Amino acid sequence: MSGAALIGKTVKSAANESIGKISDYYLDASGAVKLVVVSVGGFLGVGSKEVGVPWTDLKFGRDGNSIRVLTNWTKDSLKSDARLQ
């Protein structure tokens, strides 16, 4: 999967709640994706919070021709977990 395919994708919870959109990602020293930055909350990008989500906390699938991104995190848990800031 290309990095360009990830940017802008909506991340959804296990309950199919829209959590936020992927705005960036970070690689480790070996070039593997380590962290995905998800923009959570706000309205049209104003007042949103950038949260780093570990790559291992995301699951990928297909929804027709689109990539589907799921996590066990909820919007509230991402906003409040200090480890991810």
Q: Is the pTM of this model over 0.75?
A: yes
Averaged over 56-82, what is the pLDDT? 86
Fold topology of 3-84: SH3 type barrels. (2.30.30)
Averaged over 71-80, what is the pLDDT? 85
- Over residues 9-38, the pLDDT tens digits come to 999 998 999 999 999 999 999 999 999 999
Domain ranges of the chain: 3-84
3-state helix, strand, coil in the chain (%, to 5): 20, 50, 30
The answer to whether residue 47 scores a pLDDT higher than 80 is no
